[in-house]
Chains A and B, each alone.
Chain A
Amino acid sequence: MKAAFFSMNLNNEEQAMKCPHLIKWMITSCKAAGNRPYVPSLFELKEYCSTTSHRKCPFYMKDPLSADKAVSCLASK
């Protein structure tokens, strides 16, 4: 619910840049990590979550809905 609220507030450019699994609500957390929200480190945020490289993130790749995009992204490189 919170994720939906925030994704609505993001503009198109940010949506394209940031990982869809990132939840920014008081504490930035990742919902792709499992049952429990995972709080990424500053390095992870900079290297994966906040850039187009989020498609290379092992958490993103594990997610079945995003796996196809990740594979196609890596294949194109």
Chain B
Amino acid sequence: MVIFWIFAVIAMVGLAGYAGQVAAVIKTVRAGSKGTVAGTPPGQAPEEDFCPPISILKPLKGLDDNLFDNLESFCLQDYPAYEIIFSIQDHDDPVCRIVRKIRAKYPHREISILIEKCGDGLNPKVNNLIPAVRAARYEHVLISDSNVLVGRDYLRAVASPMKDDRVGLVSSLIRGVRGRTLGSVFENLHLNSFIAGSVCLLDRFLHMPCVIGKSMLMRKGDLEEIGGMQAVKDFLAEDYIIGKRMHDSGRRVVLSNYAISNVNEYWGLKKFINRHTRWGKLRWKIGGVKYLSELAGNAVFISFLPLLLSGFSAMTASLAIGVSAVKMAGDYYLGRRLDTGMNPLLYLFVPVKDIVIGCIWFVPLLSSSVVWRGNRYVIGDNSLLAPYPESGLWTLSTRVFNALRTREA
């Protein structure tokens, strides 16, 4: 009985935190409907006609879902002057062939394909970005991931806050769209609830910069002042570090209310688990004790624990079902507000997804190594990467496992 009440209280606290996330998302989205930009002081009109030339940097590796349409959406911007730099590390990467099709379709656009192997750092995305930043012709650079789909007015919306010289970085609200497999449905549900909610909560109520690298607009000069891409080449969470350093240098970090779509269509469950294990590890290394609050914030997972520990009863089942119902309703509401276009029946997966996320939560406490884009690293403080040690029993077992897997393949 005591166990039940302890977990019931924690679940209620988690739901209260979740309500805060929902409120933060609504506040951010409403700011848009009134024609203001998130981060713009109340009463100050947004500047819609500020359109500096922008260099869009696209670090690419491999074939993401919906890649052609994602990249094409950047060629269709209603914006006076901009260039697109597709940055690729390897000539044999199949993405080269997609960008050639894009360039053939839009010959009038300023599109550059930059294929340059850069091994300066341990973060492969930053390695891909270093030559791109160098090649950028314009003062304003927009770093944008390959799995992002945007509307025609995206550049105008994100460029608008940069009119204020005090603004150093503009990031965007993210929504997950178009899930067709279980892994991608889980990913989209998580992006639209926990990730969007947390980013908005930190920005709106706690005034802490929380930048997600899917869309970052900066001035080249400001980026160079905080050390450039070279300064973050060994960090896993390079986006967070850039945002934090920009904030520490006295510049404002703004979350634009323009929701960009992160297209996840054919993800497997393994990819979902791998990504959130990796993100969990970096939040544990960056946030420390604050990471513990994420477990309490996962009300669904907490509400199912009494069922596991005390056995099935009317009370334990009611708690789990009640909390799950509230969470599903909340996520459905958030999905509607973010205009994700998800099938309402898919929200029935919310409790399962939250239980999976609750199980993943424990992994960062036990392991600090990550595999990202085929490379294995150990994460240190502030997500600083170090090469995975090449000695010891762990490495031997990994090598044996990899050798067996390669032979099977």
Residues B97 and A62 in contact, CB atoms below 8 Å apart: yes
Contact partners of A41 in chain B: CB under 8 A: 66, 68-69, 72
User: Chain B: which residue is nearest A37 at the CB level?
Assistant: B266
Q: Which of A15-36 contact B (CB under 8 A)?
A: 27, 33-34, 36
Contact partners of B265 in chain A: CB under 8 A: 39
A38 within 8 A of B: yes
Interface string of A33-58 (1 = CB under 8 A from B): 11010111101100110000000011
Determine how close the nearest CB of chain B comes to the CB of A31; give it in whole angstroms.
12
Is chain A's interface secondary structure helix, strand, loop, or mixed overall?
mixed
B101 within 8 A of A: yes
Residues A36 and B63 in contact, CB atoms below 8 Å apart: yes
Residues B63 and A38 in contact, CB atoms below 8 Å apart: yes
Q: Sort chain A's interface into a size bin.
A: 10 to 19
Determine how close the nearest CB of chain A comes to the CB of B396; give it in whole angstroms.
27
Contact partners of B266 in chain A: CB under 8 A: 39
Query: Residues of B at under 8 Å CB distance from A?
Result: 62-63, 65-69, 72, 94, 96-98, 100-101, 105, 180, 265-266
Our count of residue pairs bridging A and B at CB distance below 8 angstroms stands at: 40
Nearest 6 CB-CB pairs, A to B?
A58-B97, A41-B68, A34-B94, A41-B69, A38-B63, A58-B100
User: Chain B: which residue is nearest A61 at the CB level?
Assistant: B97
User: Chain A: which residue is nearest B68 at the CB level?
Assistant: A41
Determine how close the nearest CB of chain A comes to the CB of B149; give it in whole angstroms.
11
User: Chain B: which residue is nearest A42 at the CB level?
Assistant: B69
Contact partners of A62 in chain B: CB under 8 A: 94, 97
Q: What separation, in Å, do the CA atoms of A43 and B180 have in the docked complex?
A: 21
Q: What separation, in Å, do the CA atoms of A49 and B266 have in the docked complex?
A: 21
Residues A44 and B101 in contact, CB atoms below 8 Å apart: yes
Residues A43 and B105 in contact, CB atoms below 8 Å apart: yes
User: Chain B: which residue is nearest A58 at the CB level?
Assistant: B97
Contacts A/B (CB < 8 Å), 14 sampled: A34-B63, A34-B94, A36-B63, A39-B65, A39-B66, A41-B72, A43-B68, A43-B72, A43-B105, A47-B101, A57-B97, A57-B101, A58-B96, A58-B100
Q: What separation, in Å, do the CA atoms of A41 and B69 have in the docked complex?
A: 7
Contact partners of B65 in chain A: CB under 8 A: 39
Interface string of A45-77 (1 = CB under 8 A from B): 001100000000111001000000000000000
Contact partners of A57 in chain B: CB under 8 A: 97, 101
Q: What separation, in Å, do the CA atoms of A41 and B75 have in the docked complex?
A: 15
Q: What separation, in Å, do the CA atoms of A5 and B175 have in the docked complex?
A: 39
Q: What separation, in Å, do the CA atoms of A61 and B357 have in the docked complex?
A: 43
Contact partners of B72 in chain A: CB under 8 A: 41, 43
Determine how close the nearest CB of chain B comes to the CB of A47; give it in whole angstroms.
8
Contact partners of B96 in chain A: CB under 8 A: 58
Determine how close the nearest CB of chain B comes to the CB of A6; give it in whole angstroms.
19
Residues B94 and A33 in contact, CB atoms below 8 Å apart: yes
Determine how close the nearest CB of chain B comes to the CB of A28; give it in whole angstroms.
13
